[in-house]
Chain A
Amino acid sequence: MIEVKNVTKRYGKFTAVDNISFDVKDGEIVGFLGPNGAGKSTTMNMITGFIEPNEGNIMINGYDIAKKPKKAKKQIGYMPENIPLYQELTVKEFVNYMAELKLVGRKNRKEEIEKILEKTGLTEVQKKLIKNLSRGYKQRVSMAGALVGNPDVLILDEPTVGLDPKQITEIRKLIKELGKEHTIILSTHILSEVSQICERVVIINHGKIIAIDTPENLEQKTQEKNSILLTVEDKKENMKHLKEEIPEIQSLKFIKDNEDGTKQYMVESEAKIDLRKKLFEVLPKQDITIFELKKAENTLEDAFISLIDETKTQEAQEVKKEDTKNEEKNSKKQKQHKEKEDSKNAKKEFNKQKEQKTKGGKK
């Protein structure tokens, strides 16, 4: 169980992490998402006790990391970003050192190290120097270092960066397996990874949490339109009149001509309405042959981008609003009038987005 309460971290005037709070329950795998420089690593470094927050506290299994560092740190296995390792040690020596650092008793140490080397697939290379290993193996060594001592909580900072596809699936499998016994926080910017592994997602941008939810919910929530990809043979050019036949269609976009004479369209409707059935019924009557009909899924990528953009435009508008306010004071009456209207519009839009966001949060 990890509890992060009102944590803030400032570097001089720059606020890297701004008053964030979230919980991770026992046995849960939580994904930490955000663009570069959003504060992911800073947050992880604070959870592991590597850096101290300016405000707020962090509890690991009930131990405050600032007040009882020894007990709290014993619960954590940390795999930092950029996989720092002691290059001059062999794999086994490294894992052994980590075991010693983590207060693993002498009795069980040998047994445990062997178990972990096997779990991470390192048994064959255990006598090799770390500096001679490939990136994929180094990643596993780092993982082994985090696993040693059997900590309840695992913090993995970008565990699959720089791996080949096969290694990525291996590591993911391992993480999923570990998720059965451990509480895991993992940061990444590969979104498919999150939807595959994680039960919950925390999206963070500019040091603030902008969403916490399951990947599925996030995908649905940000879905404003229902889009269908349609490939048809339309010799009589009847597609133009489709909108009249099916009034629910919001827009009908032509995408491309295919070589075999078929055409591809994007049909959009409101999120609640599924047009697939209707299309199948109506199109043959219009002498249009359906070659392919596919619902365009809203992915986590879309959700992520729309959420990040939302905060961006909000911030931009806040700045704009302030600017317009200042200008208002100085400008002449005529100008003032126009400007007012502008800011009104901006306000409207801002409120609209705010509404959407709060709606999303309530869900």
Chain B
Amino acid sequence: MWAVLKKEFKTYFLSPIGYVFIGLFLAMFSLLFYILTIYSGAVTYQAVFYNAVIYALIFIIPLLTMRMFAEERKSGTEQLLMTSPRSIVGITLGKFLAATLVIVITEILTLIYLGILCYFKVPDMATVGVTMLGFLLLSMAYISLGMFISSLTENQIVAAIVTIAIFVVTWLLPNLSTSFLQFSLFEKFYPYVTGVFPITETINFVSLTIMFIILTIIVLKRRKLVK
């Protein structure tokens, strides 16, 4: 697992993808910071930014996940990976954690804005902490879904578009009928912003993540028979 994690993480930053992801994320974060804090003059806290930036996540998470398995399959390097003594579980977790690590680094970078806010007024740190944790859990659920889609195809573009489509559908469905609220991950993120750690939502995110990781492993194992 560690070997795959190390290599995958390194690859994010050997190609432009890691920088593009972090760059785009911070650009949007900065814009929100400017509009909400400096332009409108309201002193607000980290949680609000996160609440707004999760919509952007829909479009940039696929940057991290689209190539995970699709590229390996297309270039044939999956042959190297799958014929090594490493287990499929280890390989999948390695890739998943590498993407998660990129999110963690991005979150750490957003602490700059928290620092600036603290200069004016120190916000409620518990709220900030819970929000950031919630954001990480949400991202992990997204990554696992994106990874699963990537394991189904050998075309990165297809993987990215299908992933975005699924995110957008789960985002917009509640507009049709409130019964779809169950499927919206954003709805599940809101409780974190209040600063109270929501157990139900956390279990929801974690189980979703585990489910898609397991599905990915099943797909990879089945490919041995079908391919």
- Give the interface of A toward B (CB within 8 A): 45, 48-52, 54, 69-71, 73-74, 76, 78, 80-82, 84-89, 93, 97-98, 100-103, 145
Instruction: Say whether chain B's binding surface is mostly helix, strand, loop, or mixed.
Output: helix
On whether A70 and B87 interact (CB within 8 A), knowing A80-B80, A101-B3, the answer reads yes
Contact B14 A48 (CB under 8 A): no
Seed contacts A80-B76, A103-B86; 12 additional CB < 8 Å A-B pairs? A48-B79, A49-B83, A50-B224, A73-B84, A78-B83, A86-B7, A87-B75, A89-B7, A97-B3, A100-B2, A101-B81, A145-B80
Contact B76 A49 (CB under 8 A): no
B contact residues around A76 at 8 Å (CB): 83
CB-defined A-B contacts under 8 Å, sample of 22: A45-B79, A48-B83, A50-B83, A51-B227, A52-B224, A69-B85, A69-B87, A70-B85, A73-B83, A73-B84, A80-B79, A80-B83, A84-B80, A85-B77, A87-B75, A88-B11, A89-B7, A89-B14, A93-B10, A97-B3, A97-B7, A103-B86
Q: Name the distance in Å between B55's Cβ and chain A's nearest Cβ.
A: 31
Chain B residue nearest to A146 in the complex (CB): B80
A contact residues around B10 at 8 Å (CB): 93
On whether A101 and B225 interact (CB within 8 A), knowing A80-B76, A84-B76, A86-B77, the answer reads no
A contact residues around B3 at 8 Å (CB): 97, 100-101
Contact B83 A82 (CB under 8 A): no
Complex Cα–Cα for A103 and B1 (A):
11
Total A-B residue contacts, Cβ distance less than 8 Å? 75
Contact A88 B15 (CB under 8 A): yes
B contact residues around A51 at 8 Å (CB): 224-225, 227
Task: Confirm or deny: B82 has a beta carbon within 8 angstroms of a beta carbon on chain A.
Answer: yes
Contact A82 B77 (CB under 8 A): no
Contact A102 B85 (CB under 8 A): yes
B residues 3-25 with Cβ under 8 Å of A? 3-4, 6-7, 10-11, 14-15
Other-chain contact of B79, A69, A71, A78, A87 (Cβ < 8 Å): A78
Name the 7 nearest CB pairs between A and B, nearest first: A84-B76, A100-B3, A101-B84, A48-B83, A80-B79, A73-B85, A84-B77
Complex Cα–Cα for A78 and B84 (A):
9
Q: Name the distance in Å between A357's Cβ and chain B's nearest Cβ.
A: 33
Contact A82 B85 (CB under 8 A): no
Contact A84 B84 (CB under 8 A): no
- Give the interface of B toward A (CB within 8 A): 2-4, 6-7, 10-11, 14-15, 75-87, 224-225, 227
Q: Name the distance in Å between B83's Cβ and chain A's nearest Cβ.
A: 4
A contact residues around B77 at 8 Å (CB): 84-86
Complex Cα–Cα for A84 and B75 (A):
6
B contact residues around A89 at 8 Å (CB): 7, 11, 14
A contact residues around B76 at 8 Å (CB): 80-82, 84
Complex Cα–Cα for A80 and B81 (A):
11
Q: Name the distance in Å between A31's Cβ and chain B's nearest Cβ.
A: 21
Q: Name the distance in Å between B33's Cβ and chain A's nearest Cβ.
A: 33
Complex Cα–Cα for A81 and B75 (A):
11
Complex Cα–Cα for A73 and B91 (A):
15
Q: Name the distance in Å between B70's Cβ and chain A's nearest Cβ.
A: 14
Chain B residue nearest to A84 in the complex (CB): B76
Contact A101 B224 (CB under 8 A): no
A contact residues around B87 at 8 Å (CB): 69-70
Other-chain contact of A86, B11, B84, B224 (Cβ < 8 Å): B11
Chain B residue nearest to A53 in the complex (CB): B225
B contact residues around A80 at 8 Å (CB): 76, 79-80, 83
Complex Cα–Cα for A51 and B78 (A):
11
Complex Cα–Cα for A160 and B50 (A):
55
A contact residues around B83 at 8 Å (CB): 48-50, 73, 76, 78, 80
On whether A74 and B14 interact (CB within 8 A), knowing A85-B77, A97-B3, A101-B80, the answer reads no
B contact residues around A88 at 8 Å (CB): 11, 14-15
Complex Cα–Cα for A82 and B79 (A):
11
Chain B residue nearest to A86 in the complex (CB): B77
Complex Cα–Cα for A82 and B80 (A):
12
Q: Name the distance in Å between A100's Cβ and chain B's nearest Cβ.
A: 4
Chain A residue nearest to B223 in the complex (CB): A51
Q: Name the distance in Å between A359's Cβ and chain B's nearest Cβ.
A: 39
A contact residues around B6 at 8 Å (CB): 100
Complex Cα–Cα for A145 and B227 (A):
23
Chain B residue nearest to A66 in the complex (CB): B224
Q: Name the distance in Å between B10's Cβ and chain A's nearest Cβ.
A: 8
B contact residues around A84 at 8 Å (CB): 75-80
B contact residues around A52 at 8 Å (CB): 224-225
Complex Cα–Cα for A101 and B83 (A):
10
B contact residues around A69 at 8 Å (CB): 85, 87
Q: Name the distance in Å between A231's Cβ and chain B's nearest Cβ.
A: 51
A contact residues around B78 at 8 Å (CB): 84
B contact residues around A103 at 8 Å (CB): 85-86
Q: Name the distance in Å between B155's Cβ and chain A's nearest Cβ.
A: 17
Q: Name the distance in Å between A348's Cβ and chain B's nearest Cβ.
A: 44
B contact residues around A86 at 8 Å (CB): 7, 11, 77
B contact residues around A81 at 8 Å (CB): 76
Q: Name the distance in Å between A105's Cβ and chain B's nearest Cβ.
A: 13
Complex Cα–Cα for A102 and B4 (A):
11
On whether A49 and B82 interact (CB within 8 A), knowing A70-B87, A80-B76, A85-B77, the answer reads yes
